Amino acid sequence: MPTPDRATPLLAILLAMLLSTPAMAGLPVHTLDNGTVRAGVTEAIGGRLLSFALAGQPNFLRVDEAAGDPAAPVDARTGNVAYYGHEVWAGPQKQWWVHQDVNPARKAARAVWPPDPYLSLARYTLDKADRDAVAVTGPASPVSGLQLVKRYALVPGQPNSLRLEAGAINRRGSAVAWDLWFNTRVPGDTQVYVPVAGGAEVRTEAADGLAPPQPLVADGVLALEIPAAGAHARRGKLFAQPAAGWMAAFRGGQAFIIQFALQPRSAIHPDQGQVELYQDVDPAHPAAGLLEMEVHAPWRRLAPGQRMDAHETWTLLPYAGPATRTAHLAFLRAQARTLALEGL
């Protein structure tokens, strides 16, 4: 593996040029590629993961690189820019603007939108970029008090997998309390499965007067499927306490598995679920919709300078079966031992 800090300046520049592709002005993209899977990461717009796909297959993530200007300045007045892809927030959402003084209006309103722009939109420092790993460090946020560090790395011996690591450091002079919140966006025509002990472990919330997500819970698995043609549009959030540390999604010829450390309900802030699914889909145009696959790490109180960490492991596998719950679960059960998927 190359070691950039030992390379000559010229070699370091040439390496960065080789492994970076400007998808648009001001948005560098660093590619991780082992011949089986391929991922694209940028240090701009929050150190965001922009793509993940099997070789020769389309991006599994939903992304809009043209949603805004990545060179635009970021401050406490900045709104959300829907680049999508994968990013990391701090939770709980209801406290996003409560513990700060740099935007008094949002503090007074106890605003629940937008997320901390310093975490999600600021340009991060590129610490490392080669074909195996990308590491970035964000600025200290005056909104949350946190500084995020992220690392995306291919997994040795697991050619279909990518490891995502995030750390949060309290840069304030006083204690803060947050969680690390992984948010992965995929198109609305994606079918998702989460292991749960039963329907009592799931709750839903509607948004904007539309129908909420309508999961099917049976045989220890929650299924969130695409609404049938002619059904009402759905927009809202699903909160779940998973029975095992994974969830899976299917679309096209790819099966996508996210694995994480299972937490007891007591470790997760009561406003949140360890797994959350946000669905915004019109059955007439499901591919144009949005599905967010979200995971919360434990909510923790951090003393000044203290750090907390969390990670996910992503796996993409080729899938050639029918787009049905029965076939999808059979596929996952066939992979359960290899991937250590419990609860199937």
Contact between 184 and 294 under an 8 Å Cβ cutoff? The reply is yes
Q: What is the DSSP letter of 261?
A: -
C-alpha dist (Å) from residue 118 to 47, 80, 92, 291, 342? 11, 11, 16, 24, 36
Q: Which residue segments constitute the domains of the chain, with CATH numbers given?
A: 16-339 (2.70.98.10)
Collapse the DSSP code of 58 into the 3-class scheme (helix H, G, I; strand E, B; otherwise coil) and give the result: coil
**318 prior amide bond cis, ω within 30:** no
* Cα maximum dimension of the chain: 61
Contacts of 189 (CB under 8 A, 6+ apart): 226, 251, 281, 286, 287, 289
Angle at 315 between CA 312 and CA 320, to 5 degrees: 150
Three-state SS at 229: coil
What are φ and ψ of residue 267, in 5° steps? -85, -15
Q: For 66-124, write each residue's pLDDT tens digit.
A: 999 999 999 999 999 999 999 999 999 999 999 999 999 999 999 999 999 999 999 99
pTM for the whole structure:
0.92
- Whether 184 and 202 have beta carbons less than 8 Å apart is answered as no
What local confidence, expressed as pLDDT, does residue 225 receive? Answer: 85
- Rounded Cα gap, residues 114 and 245, in angstroms: 28
| Encoded tokens for 62 | 């939903």
pLDDT in the model for residue 1:
38
**In which residue ranges of the chain is pLDDT below 50?**
1-24
Give the start-end residues of each E strand in 188-245. 191-195, 202-206, 216-218, 221-224, 234-240
Beta carbons of 62 and 187 less than 8 angstroms apart: yes
Query: Are 262 and 316 in contact, with CB atoms under 8 Å apart?
Result: no
Chain-centre distance for alpha carbon 46: 12
